[in-house]
Amino acid sequence: MGLAALFAACENNENEGPEGPEPREQVGRTVLVYIVGDNGVSELSSLFKVNFSDMKAGMEEVDYSKCNLVVYSEMVNDVPHLISLKQKNGKVVADTLFTYDEQNPLDKEVMTSVISQTVSYFPADSYGFVFLSHSSSWVPASNNANSRSIGYYRRTQMNIPDFREALSSAFPKPLKFILFDSCNMQSVEVAYELRDCAEYFIGSPTEIPGPGHLIRQ
């Protein structure tokens, strides 16, 4: 069923192609959460869905007039979606802005396009980026699932320099923060490669428990 049940109340599900939602006026902060969920571990994909529910609950506690929370969701048995978690009539709703054909979320051009689209529709004074998937740090990607790189999608991975290029080319300014809900990404090698991309890096030098950083306390 993928995210069908989770997004049953979503709006604008047919906004595909050149016609899309109206851009929002510029706010203080836009955060893009980038979920690479089709990673071969069904339990982790299920936890990402819990993370999504927690993010939706968290949006009840913020001033929506000052921020945007946008989620690129790529899950098992579902096509990718770009979703805005927003407050409407006193409730937080998951508004599906775009639905994409199947694509590799770890392809540099795909990630760049998603970020650029988010920036275009949700301009802000500053930006944050949250990445959810498997990761294993800084050694170049390979077909070996135990190699070190960022993300894991159907036996493909992303080299850290490609990740850096996607961030630096698509965001209009350095990020306020990058949060890695993904293992082994708080290494000095990763921090050095991404040194011009963000002011703060939040992550772990080792493995992250299944519920991840985004679990609601």
The residues spanned by each domain of the chain are 27-185+192-202
Checking if the pLDDT of 119 tops 90, the result is yes
Task: Please state the φ and ψ torsions of residue 206, each to the nearest 5 degrees.
Answer: -125, -160
Amino acid identity at 182: S
pLDDT tens, residue by residue, 169-208: 999 999 999 998 876 677 888 888 899 999 999 877 555 5
Angle 208-95-8 (CA atoms, 0-180°, nearest 5)?
85
Sheet with 27-36, side-by-side order of all strands? 91-99, 81-88, 67-74, 27-36, 124-132, 175-181, 198-202
Looking at residue 152, its pLDDT comes to 75
Amino acid identity at 173: K
The domain made up of 27-185+192-202 has a fold known as Rossmann fold (3.40.50)
pTM: 0.81
Find the helix or strand (DSSP H, E) in which 202 lies.
strand 198-202
Instruction: Sort strands 81-88 and 67-74 into parallel, antiparallel or unpaired.
Output: antiparallel
Q: Rounded to whole angstroms, how far apart are CA atoms 68 and 59? A: 9
